[in-house]
Amino acid sequence: MKKIAVLGAGLCGATAAATLTQQGYQVTVFDKGRAAGGRMSSKRTDQGYLDMGAQYFTARSDVFKQQVKVWLDAGRAEIWPCKTALLSNDEGFISLKASEDEQARFVGVPSMQSPVTALLHGITQVNSCRIQKLDYQWQSWTLFNDEGLSYTGFAAVLLTLPPAQAKQLLAQSLLPALFDTAADILEPCWAVALQTQGAAAQDAIFCQHPKLRFISHQQHKTGRNPCYILHFNASFSALHLQQSTEFWFAEAIAILRQELNIQQEITPLVAHRWLYASQKDQVAAPGLIALPEQQLWAGGDWSYGGRVENAYLAGLNLANALIEQNKSQQETP
């Protein structure tokens, strides 16, 4: 049975790992985080989870619709009954308008990472393990982490890290520089959670705003702490990347007061910085990246344009690329 190392326990890595496990491969998933989920992680609080990363996902392709149905049937996901609105900016005049649509939006239950955790059920995971070097000798990969531990004997490696981190890992491993412009494809986002009293009029506010890209309220998501989550846009987040959480709390509170006219007490909960959050609009998606001779493949949401659904599709395609390569090697006389 071939041993495969999957780096990254986000949705892409989990999907690849589950697909390969079903095909009889022996998979180990490594992640630097304490738990699986990646950018679908939620933070646990006494009052429920806070979705600091992805707020919801949509399903357009048949294959992802089928997977979402499995999660819905297993109680790992639900439809988010969200009221949507648009915070629009007309020549500096900002206004909030209802903008209902027919789009089905889904969330994990009881937290955003639940679908990822479900995929990884029964698969060996090594968490809190930052891989910082790879070595390929005699058709076998060895992984080294930042505490000096090594993991050896893998026939193939799948990298499902954000491309800037994958590029750095390849450089540290003296492997070919497979990522050039693709390394800069993901942009940062500061996310801030704030508590207010009472219900919110809208659950999902899309923002055309100088600072913000999205405001979400968690009142209609099962298992969540019912509060606001604000996502600052890439340019404002990048401009103030190193600012303290106090700066971000003050910015977020000012926005709730000015734009949503919230007068009651606002309590800051959590501010989280994502260095690699979502895809730049202008950049073409590079697809999967590979060193097929050495059985190394790289992919993630960024391969196909960002978002949760594309992370899933990338995970499937990474696994299938490896399976196909192995089949053709077995068929070669």
Ligand X SMILES: Cc1cc2nc3c(=O)[nH]c(=O)nc-3n(C[C@H](O)[C@H](O)[C@H](O)COP(=O)(O)OP(=O)(O)OC[C@H]3O[C@@H](n4cnc5c(N)ncnc54)[C@H](O)[C@@H]3O)c2cc1C
Q: Applying CB under 6 A, which residues contact ligand X?
A: 7-13, 30-33, 38-40, 53-57, 130-131, 160-162, 165, 169, 189, 191, 231, 274, 277-278, 300-301, 306-308, 311
Amino acid at 251: E
How far apart are CB 174 and ligand X at their closest, in Å? 16
How far apart are CB 90 and ligand X at their closest, in Å? 25
CA distance 287 to 294: 19
Among 320, 270, 302, CA closest to 11 = 302
Q: Which is nearer to ligand X, 49 or 274 (CB)?
A: 274
Contact residues for 322 (Cβ-Cβ < 8 A; gap 6+): 4, 20, 156, 158, 295, 297
How far apart are CB 130 and ligand X at their closest, in Å? 5
Q: Which is nearer to ligand X, 8 or 110 (CB)?
A: 8
How far apart are CB 272 and ligand X at their closest, in Å? 8
Q: Which is nearer to ligand X, 149 or 327 (CB)?
A: 149
Q: Which is nearer to ligand X, 3 or 307 (CB)?
A: 307
Residue 46 zone, left/alpha/beta (φ > 0; ψ -120 to 50; rest): alpha
Q: In terms of C-beta density within 10 A (0-12 exposed, 13-18 middle, 19 or more buried), how is residue 138 classed? A: exposed
| Residues counted in the chain | 333
Contact residues for 226 (Cβ-Cβ < 8 A; gap 6+): 47, 48, 217, 218, 219
Q: Which is nearer to ligand X, 12 or 253 (CB)?
A: 12
Q: Which is nearer to ligand X, 25 or 80 (CB)?
A: 80
In a 13 Å sphere around the CA of 59, the CA atoms on its Cβ side amount to 20
How far apart are CB 39 and ligand X at their closest, in Å? 3
How far apart are CB 269 and ligand X at their closest, in Å? 15
